[in-house]
Amino acid sequence: MTTTKNVVACQPENPWLAFTARIQQVRPETPGVATYNLVFDAPALADGFCFRPGQFNMLYLPGLGEVAISISGDPADYSTVPHTIREAGSVTQALARLGDGATIGVRGPFGSSWPMDACRGKDVLLVAGGIGLAPLRPAIYELLANRDDFGEFTLLYGARSPDGLLYPDEYEEWRNAGLDVQTTVDRAHVAWAGNVGVVTVLLDRLPLKRPDDTLLLTCGPEIMMWHTIQTALRRELAPESVYVSLERNMNCAIGLCGHCQFGPEFLCKDGPVFRYDRVSSILKVDDL
């Protein structure tokens, strides 16, 4: 299912080398969250930066540092590289103060990706929480572009509040293209006519036609993913059909600095996307 194109990998001989890119457009998403469309200065990268859904880049503001951010755009669209970013620390806050045209550094793409090939012939279920939809959006684009290759396609998406739901303008288009988008929020306001409650409630009542042949890809807070997975397993999905995207502090992104270790895994190069059975034994160990 992976699209093949003339590809320029952004992987220099020296993995510490970052490439400059310009912020082409900043699109506010939800409170404190915006999508930054990047265009590389180097022409070869500008029309050929290639990544797989679920991978991340290290975005660099000289003098402030780097942050690991998932790529949230369409892998087949080479014109721009979007990153959806929540203001959290000093780098992301400074990034929020930069406007269109500002230059930043980029290293990447890094890490493992969602199992696009394994989706072929299956029903595909995406469960996301909050900003966890961002790393799944490239998978949505790629799967919708190959919609005939698989069966049922569902996105269950939860956020704290209605204004915390990412990319609401796109749901209609996604639905028309064959993705069943269902949303829920923890706290509603009067204007909200949709679901209220945790995302696992949506999963509980979702008809699963063939759980044996359903793939679950989930990204969000660890506790949300944990309960989602337990619900899915109870509904007879196989552990080897479940994929999670995990998060730890990443400093080097190339498996050399030790920060992102999670048991035996380096999240930056072995992850961030794991098949659940690979990490199930360590997911619930406190303070690991």
Partner 1 sequence: MTAATESTPSTHSFLLRDGLQSLIDELSGDGFTVIGPTIDQGAIIFAEIESVDDLPRGWTDQQQPGEYRLERRDDDAYFGYVVGPHSWKRYLFPPLTTVATADRTDNGWDLKTPDEPAPRYAFLGVRACEIAAIKIQDRVFTGGAYVDPIYQKRREAAFIVAVNCTTAAPTCFCTSMNTGPRCKSGFDIALTEIADGFIVEASSDAGEELLGRLPVTPAADDQLDHGERARQQAVDQIQRTLNTDGIRDLLLDNLEHPQWEDVAKRCLSCTNCTMVCPTCFCSTVSEVSDLTGDHVERQRQWDSCFNIDFSYMNGGIVRSNVRSRFRQWLTHKLASWQDQFESSGCVGCGRCITWCPVGIDLTAEVATIRNVPNRALAATSEQEGTP
Contact criterion met (CB below 8 Å) for 205 and 180: no
Both tokens assigned to 157: 């998406």
Q: How many residues bind partner 1 (CB under 8 A)?
A: 41
**Is 261 among the residues that bind partner 1 (CB under 8 A)?**
yes
Closest by Cα among 170, 198, 171 to 184: 198
Q: Is 43 in the site for partner 1 (CB under 8 A)?
A: no
Q: How far is the CB of 88 from partner 1 (least distance, A)?
A: 4
Among 2, 5, 7, 17, binds partner 1 (CB under 8 A): 17
For position 89 contacting partner 1 by CB under 8 A, the verdict is yes
Quote the least distance from Cβ 102 to partner 1, whole Å. 8
Position 32 contacts partner 1 (CB under 8 A):
no
Could you tell me which stretch among 55-63, 69-77, 170-178, 227-235 binds partner 1 (CB under 8 A)?
Answer: 55-63
Residue closer to partner 1 (CB basis): 13 or 169: 13
Contacts to partner 1 from residues 222-251, by CB under 8 A: 247-249, 251
- Assess 117 for contact with partner 1 (CB under 8 A): no
Q: Closest Cα to residue 46, out of 15, 77, 3?
A: 77
Is 206 an interacting residue with respect to partner 1 (CB under 8 A)? no
Closest approach, Cβ 258 to partner 1, in A, equals: 3
Spell out where the chain has E strands. 19-30, 33-40, 56-61, 65-70, 81-86, 103-110, 123-129, 153-159, 180-185, 195-196, 214-219, 242-245, 261-262, 265-266, 273-275
Q: From CA 70, how far away is CA 85, in angstroms rounded?
A: 9
Query: What count of Cα atoms within 13 Å lies in the side-chain half-sphere of residue 103?
Result: 6
CA angle centred on 141, ends 1 and 124, rounded to 5°: 65
- State in angstroms the smallest separation of the CB of 246 from partner 1: 11
Strands 273-275 and 265-266: unpaired
Span interacting with partner 1, options 62-70, 71-79, 118-126, 228-236, rule CB under 8 A: 62-70
Cβ 55 to partner 1, closest distance in Å? 13
The answer to whether 49 contacts partner 1 (rule: CB under 8 A) is no
Q: In terms of Cα–Cα distance, which of 274, 127, 286, 273 is closest to 200? A: 127
Provide the edge-to-edge strand list for the sheet that holds 56-61: 65-70, 56-61, 103-110, 19-30, 33-40, 81-86
CB atoms within 10 A of CB 183: 19
From 32, 105, 211, 239, residue interacting with partner 1 (rule: CB under 8 A)? 105
Among 4, 6, 14, 176, indicate the residue that binds partner 1 (CB under 8 A).
Answer: 14
How is residue 91 written in tokens?
A: 């780098």
Instruction: State the residues that interact with partner 1 by CB under 8 A.
Output: 13-20, 22, 41, 60, 62-66, 88-89, 103-105, 247-249, 251-252, 254-259, 261, 263-264, 266, 269, 285-288
